[in-house]
Structure 1
Amino acid sequence: MRISTVTMFEQSTASMNRQQSDLMKVSQQIASGRRVVNPSDDPQAASRAVGVDQAKAVTEQFSDSRVSARNSLSQTESIINSVSDAITSAKGLLIQASSDTLTNENRESIASELKGVYETMLGQANSTDGNGRYLFGGYNDSVPPFAKDAAGNVQYKGDSNVREQRVDATRLMPVADNGETIFKSVPSGAGYVAEAKKENGELNEGNVTFRGPQINDVKNATDFRITFSSDVAFDIETFDGEGWNTVQTGVEYSGKDAAQQISVGGMSITLEGTPAADDEILVAKSGGDVRGADLFRTMEEAIRVLENPADDPVKKADQRNTLNTAMRDLDNSLDNVLTVRASAGARLNELDVIDAVGSNRMLNYDQTLSDLVDLDYTEAISEYSLRQIGMQASQKAFVDIKGLSLFNYM
């Protein structure tokens, strides 16, 4: 069979092109450090690598989300810590104000200091996260969550939701507690609180003071109120969850002469002083249906009685009763704030754990990607040297073949 000169040239050119293509492919691999430069190099590995890259991107997004969540929780914990310090300071001032050795002027001075603590709390309750969003307004975070109404009382303007953020594929984490949870709630184990005030909010007109209440039987403890029909008799009502029910009427009152202990169900309270008709003493579970919790209301009431001179028995009784109630309320509020703070700290610790898991997951993804597409340099360099030799051999063969001619032998 005769082989034409054109055929020899075409085969030699094709061989050199093939060798050059193989050499260039190995060169690209060495330059990029990747075994799979194009999907056609290893379609299966390339397909798996795309999936791993997507999983890495999602993991990185969750990592960024955890940074944001950590910033929010750290700020929340810091503010709540300041609030707990403010409550402790307020409680100390009320204990000081309860001393019988203080004058009205001394109490007015304490009231001025207590106002500063109150305004500090209000400012902390309206803190922002640095991006213009209010931390404690729930999802209604575009306006201050706490604002004073026309009467000067602080009202909550946020919602009852808790802002959440997804920090991992299976974890939706609360990143900020709402204002109700912090400033208008008490822990589930909060006790009972007594208050000397009428149902319509008016102050009592007599000078009855109370000590307690005490829980004698937890199972039978219940909300109740004492309403004086005269200065020597009173009625007792209990709350059943829907309304008040009279359980005793015309009970004799002897507290004008000596302290009288009154027991209702599993509760007891000690009264002393002279009442006026329609005066009331309420005993209710803190944060319950009858008497909701409100840290700002507690502070406002304490400031009120300290600012007004207690220059008669009625005002002195109001001052003593209000301070006793306020100190119990502050104890409950402090327990609640510390519980919320502990919850924020626990979530920060959880973020650290999720971060560690996420870091390990990223290492696994990196290792998987390396196994799929990264280059083995030792093998690649050997392959490169082999392709160079093949290319040189192909070129040398072409030079030798193209020089063949019958005219060289004639």
Structure 2
Amino acid sequence: MRISSVTMFDQSTASMNRQQSDFLKVSQQIASGRRVVNPSDDPQAASRAVGVDQAKAVTEQYADSRTSARNSLAQTESILNSVSDAVTSAKTLLIQASSDTLSNVDRDSIASELKGVYETMLGQANATDGNGRYLFGGYNDSNPPFVKNADGNVEYKGDSNTREQRVDASRLMSVNENGESIFKSVPSSAGYVAEADNDNAGNVTFGGPQVSDVNDDGYGDSYRIQFDEDAGNNPTYSIETYDEGSESWVAYDPDNNGDFTDQAYIPGMNVSFGGVNVDLEGEPAVGDEILVAQAGSDQREPNLFRTMEEAIRVLENPVQDDADKADLRNTLNTSMRDLDNALDNVLTVRASAGARLNELDVIDAVGNNRSLNYEQTLSDLVDLDYNEAISEYSLRQVGLQASQKAFVDVKGMSLFDYL
């Protein structure tokens, strides 16, 4: 078989180019620190790396989402802390105002201080986040959720929704609270609250209500005590209960014998109905009434701002007669119980926000571990083993040099040199 000089030249050149290509490939791997520089280097590893890299990017997006959620919840928790402090301050002022030794001027001074607490609450209720959105408006976060109407009373203009954010593949978390859940709600454990009508003309006052029997068939219903008088002008009382079916007040008659209709009223008496007790003092006028209902029921919807407004009203109103004194005592008693329920509710909501902050810490720890696993998997798939690469680099360098030397030697093997 005859091998021409051209054939030897071409084969030597091809061998040298191949060795040079392998040498440059190893050089590129060392320079980039990656074993798989191009998908053709290891198609299977490259394909798996794309999937792992995408999963890693999604994990990083969830981490950014958790950062945003943590900022919102931290701001909510901070504001709720301020609101709870304001409620506590208001309760302290009402306890101070309930002293019989205070004059009208003293109570008016307390009312002024209470107005400051009221305005502080309103400002906190209309707080915004860093993007100008109102925190407690629900989805309606472009306008203040709490505004004063023409009568100067605060109304809620937001909705009952809460913004949610996906903080992990399997966790959709509420990142704020709406105004209803904070300022117009009570905890499920809140009991009965009594409230005297503002138009009462008599001086009857109440104490309680106190729960006597939670197993009573009427426990949990709403009641009202109405006052009248008999033919001899002696005061009487009747008890009515709210009927959900007819949506009206009907006579309370659990034993079908009319025990709670037009009964003789005696100052200092204790009235028991529906598993609760109410102490009554003073002389009522015809048409006076006292509502006794579960806090948070339809008959007595909770409203922290309304409670503050009623307390300010009664403190600003000069006490001139027994009816004014009764109004002051009844309103302060009702307001203090409402503030207790409001504080319990704010603390409950705050605890919920704190629990979600703790949950974010746990999810963060899991997400960080997941990211580390993805990093390790990517490293195993595409990263370079430098010890092996350097050995390969030296080997390819020797091969390239040998190829070049062989090419020089073969190129010199020609018969024309001997002619």
- TM-score, length basis structure 1: 0.97
Q: Which amino acid aligns with 2:250?
A: N
Whole-angstrom distance in 2 between the partners of 1:165 and 1:151: 38
2:326 maps to which of 288, 308, 317: 317
The within-5 A match list for 1:10-409 is 10-197=10-197, 202-220=198-216, 221=219, 222-230=221-229, 232-242=235-245, 243=247, 244-247=249-252, 248-255=260-267, 259-409=268-418
What's the CA shift string for 1:264-299, capped at 9, x where partnerless?
Answer: 121110111111111101100001121010000000
Whole-angstrom distance in 2 between the partners of 1:406 and 1:91: 116
CA contact (8 A) 2:45 2:381 kept: yes
Whole-angstrom distance in 2 between the partners of 1:17 and 1:240: 97
What's the CA shift string for 1:147-183, capped at 9, x where partnerless?
Answer: 0111111110111011111000000001101000000
Whole-angstrom distance in 2 between the partners of 1:289 and 1:233: 27
Unaligned stretches of 5+ residues in structure 1: none
Residue 257 of structure 2: aligned partner: none
Q: Which amino acid aligns with 2:251?
A: T
Whole-angstrom distance in 1 between the partners of 2:176 and 2:319: 42
Q: Return the offset for 1:406.
A: 1.5
What's the CA shift string for 1:2-21, capped at 9, x where partnerless?
Answer: 11111111111111111111
Whole-angstrom distance in 1 between the partners of 2:222 and 2:357: 38
CA contact (8 A) 2:200 2:285 kept: yes
Q: Return the offset for 1:240.
A: 3.6
What's the CA shift string for 1:314-361, capped at 9, x where partnerless?
Answer: 111101100000000000000000000100100000000000000000
Q: Secondary structure at the match of 1:105?
A: helix
What's the CA shift string for 1:184-222, capped at 9, x where partnerless?
Answer: 00000001000001xxxx521111111110110012223
Q: Return the offset for 1:409.
A: 3.2
Q: Secondary structure at the match of 1:151?
A: coil
Whole-angstrom distance in 1 between the partners of 2:193 and 2:414: 118
Unaligned stretches of 5+ residues in structure 2: 253-259
Whole-angstrom distance in 1 between the partners of 2:110 and 2:345: 25
User: How many residue pairs are counted as aligned between the two chains?
Assistant: 403
Q: Secondary structure at the match of 2:262?
A: strand
What's the CA shift string for 1:84-129, capped at 9, x where partnerless?
Answer: 0000000000000000011010000000000000000000000001
Q: Which amino acid aligns with 2:39?
A: P
Q: Secondary structure at the match of 1:219?
A: coil
CA contact (8 A) 1:241 1:289 kept: no
- Please list every run of at least 4 consecutive aligned residues from structure 1 whose deviation after the TM superposition is greater than 6 angstroms: none
Q: Return the offset for 1:235.
A: 1.6
Whole-angstrom distance in 1 between the partners of 2:73 and 2:111: 33
Whole-angstrom distance in 1 between the partners of 2:154 and 2:89: 20
Whole-angstrom distance in 2 between the partners of 1:155 and 1:40: 67
Q: Secondary structure at the match of 2:369?
A: helix
CA contact (8 A) 2:5 2:414 kept: no
Q: Tell me which moved more, 281-290 or 297-306.
A: 281-290
Q: Tell me which moved more, 239-248 or 144-153.
A: 239-248
Whole-angstrom distance in 2 between the partners of 1:39 and 1:408: 48
Residue 256 of structure 2: aligned partner: none
